Amino acid sequence: MIILSRSEIEALIDLDSGLSALEAAYIAASDGRAVMPPVGYLAFADKDGDCHIKYGHIAGDPTFVVKIAAGFYGNPAIGLPTSNGVMLAFSAQTGVLEAILLDEGFLTDLRTGLGGAIATRALCRPDARRVAIVGAGIQARWQVRCLQQAMPETQLSFSVWARSEDKARETVSVLHSEGIDVTVSTDLERLCRDAEIIITTTPSREPLIRDVWIQPGTHITAIGADAPGKQELETALVVRADRRICDSLEQSLDHGEFSTAFRAREISAENCIELGAVLAGKGAGRVRPGEITIADLTGVAVQDIAIANSVLNADRRFRTV
């Protein structure tokens, strides 16, 4: 059995391979080639934390994956990381546990960043340059890193806003140290009005982004609403959008960014399409430059399967050298 620590996993990661693997996984999910049972969810309201259990199998894969990931958002105040977790890979032929990936939440953070980059690249205007990042946690950093990797020929301009200006400045400092040009914004409304791409990365339980702030042609990738009660976008904005794309229609309408509008019967399932269908060319993403597009990413098990298999494949290649 293979047991890999976080540092070993980080050494094996290749972002380009991850982007390709996740794109294929989204397509497999929408094509009906993936088994993804309902997400297991535990809430710890008194600690501002939650835990997700996601698991599944893609037809033809030699392994199936079970992922446990926790996010406790007050942890930085006591010197601990927000994310933690582990991934378990089992043989799809025998059920034998073949690998334990002690990633401490790293792979969940990474695959979320890669998923956001894939959706943004597929749905933003070709001439989009100005990127607003809402939130300043670990995921904000991964969204910047992964989008830059996904769109290397585009001169993207990033700006970060957070409730805490100090945290925004810390995130900008970290990204600067990696050679990425990012600025701090202190005015969320102005940031959103000027942006061509908006990526939201917060655990907010009340809308942060207002409908009247958003200009025609803007693309929004909403990452934060991955559990009941979370919402980053004003419902009127979701209703107004010309195109609504999600990673999982079932999850998005149940507890994602689209769920509030769906429950109010202001949108329907027929008004939404899965990202995998867009990537496979079986459904429309952005059709016209002036459209407002929203991608609601709740996180799906195929992402975990894809990123775990990417690590294990890289480890196998390393061991045979």
User: Are 271 and 129 part of one and the same domain?
Assistant: yes
Rg (alpha carbons) of the chain, rounded to whole number: 19
Looking from the CA of 274 toward its CB, the CA atoms found within 13 Å total 20
User: Are 61 and 187 part of one and the same domain?
Assistant: no
Catalytic annotation, residues: 67
Provide the pLDDT for residue 321.
58
User: Are 182 and 89 part of one and the same domain?
Assistant: no
User: Are 62 and 126 part of one and the same domain?
Assistant: no
Q: What is the CATH number of the domain that holds 98?
A: 3.30.1780.10
Domain count of the fold of the chain: 2
User: Are 75 and 153 part of one and the same domain?
Assistant: no
Using one digit for the tens of pLDDT, what is the confidence trace for 67-120?
999 989 889 889 998 889 999 999 999 999 999 999 999 999 999 999 999 999
Q: Find all residues with CB under 8 Å of 206, minimum gap 6, and list them.
A: 231
User: Are 61 and 152 part of one and the same domain?
Assistant: no
User: Are 144 and 18 part of one and the same domain?
Assistant: no
**Residue 19: strand pairing partners:** none
User: Are 73 and 207 part of one and the same domain?
Assistant: no
Q: Are 202 and 138 in contact (CB under 8 A)?
A: no
Element (H, E) at 240: helix 235-240
User: Are 10 and 120 part of one and the same domain?
Assistant: no
Task: Tell whether the model's pLDDT for residue 47 goes beyond 90.
Answer: no
User: Are 87 and 121 part of one and the same domain?
Assistant: no
pTM over cut 0.85: yes
Task: Quote the domain boundaries for residue 102.
Answer: 2-107+302-320
User: Are 162 and 32 part of one and the same domain?
Assistant: no
